[in-house]
Each structure stands twice: as C-alpha cells, then as structure tokens.
Amino acid sequence: GAGVSQSPSNKVTEKGKDVELRCDPISGHTALYWYRQRLGQGLEFLIYFQGNSAPDKSGLPSDRFSAERTGESVSTLTIQRTQQEDSAVYLCASSSHLLAVAKNIQYFGAGTRLSVL
Amino acid sequence: AQKVTQAQTEISVVEKEDVTLDCVYETRDTTYYLFWYKQPPSGELVFLIRRNSFDEQNEISGRYSWNFQKSTSSFNFTITASQVVDSAVYFCALSEGDTGRRALTFGSGTRLQVQP
C-alpha cells in the first residue's frame, strides 16, 4: 500500500487476555519501529527491526511484550496477559535507508488504540 | 541519555496570528537528527521536517519555519498566519547517531488550537 497500515484500528480486551497488533510497512522499507503513546503523552519507543539484523528490543517495558517480523514485511506486536496500564495507542513506523530524499525518515501508521478493561 | 522537552503543553491562538512552538533537547552525541511531526485529530503522525546537527541553517517552507540553534540546544517551530487546519498536536523528536536510523525520542507534544 501507499502508507503504513495497522490493524485493528481499535481493540478492546479484558485484563489478562493476549492481544496481537499488526503492522504492514510501506513496501520496500527495511526498517520498522513500534512505539506506544499513552493518553496525552509523547511516543515511547518499544522495538526496532532493521532488515535481517537482530531487533533492538531495548524499549520493551516487560517480558509480556514481544514482536516479530518476517524479512522486510509484516510485523506483529504481541502483548500477553494484558494489564490496564497497557491501554494506549500503539503506533508503527517504517523507513528506508535507500531513498535519497526520504532516507531514514520514519513514516507512521494511524495506530491501534488498545483498551484493557 | 537523550531527552526532548516541549515545555508548552497547550497553546491557543486566533487565526492569522503567528505562533512559535518551543523544543529543547539534550544529547551527548555530536551527530544527531531533529524532527518535527504533526498529529492531527485523526491520530496519524505527519512528518514535517528533519534537520541534522551539522546544518544550523534555518528553513522556511510556506507558512512554516524552523530555527535550529545548537548553542541553546533548541529547535523551535514557527507557524506564520496560523489557520484552523493547523490545529493539532506537534511533536519534536531526536534521533542520535549519524544515520538517523535509530529510534526517535519524542517530546511530550504541544497541542495547538487555532480559533477562527
């Protein structure tokens, strides 16, 4: 697609359930990032994938959070045993290191709004 | 560790007024990139500008202009003759290193409301 696509756009779950959030990056973008945005706050980095390199997981807040990416395509962020404090908008971004003008600029999806009841 | 501070939580102006959004950053790296993003009510972040640490030239794009001053670690954003469509949350962000690939560190954002 033309932009970064995220699904679902909204997710309501019960405390203790697992959730999976999906991100489709811009075609050809080698880098993919996940961020979390709590209500009224800035974005917090979670995890970064670059091509086939080992991901940078330094921003994951706990071992309940994990993410996968196959090659340079879709990524899935999984939150296990969700807690109310996990309620936030989860944003995905992708970038390319090859484009001359837009090199390494992160382009964001519209996010998934997660509500944990 | 890197940090971005946007001290203005919310600004309200009347259409056609000029408005400046402040951004102050902290980093130990000598090479880094600074960004501004706009987040309209729809929620999707829109890229506005990127500036690297070696380029202190101010930039103007239509009604938008940016003032980068390394001496004060600031990267301020001015909207001239504001319009209602400028209403959004604006984020300043920092990426350390010489590639710009590292994850972004965001400020807490400034909500701009432009009244007609």
Is A50 within 8 Å of chain B by CB? yes
Closest CA to A95 of A38, A53, A50: A50
User: What's the whole-number mean pLDDT along residues A62-74?
Assistant: 91
Which of B31, B34, B35, B45 to mutate: most A Cβ within 10 Å?
B45
Q: Say whether A103 and B47 touch across the interface (CB within 8 A).
A: no
Q: Say whether A107 and B47 touch across the interface (CB within 8 A).
A: yes
Q: Among the ranges A45-59, B10-24, B28-42, which has the highest mean pLDDT value?
A: B10-24
Is the Cβ–Cβ distance between B115 and B86 less than 8 Å? no
Residue A1 pLDDT = 52
Closest CA to B21 of B56, B53, B48: B48
User: What's the whole-number mean pLDDT along residues A42-66?
Assistant: 92
Is the Cβ–Cβ distance between B107 and B5 less than 8 Å? yes
- Report the half-sphere exposure of B87 (CA within 13 A, side-chain side): 12
pLDDT at A101 over 70: no
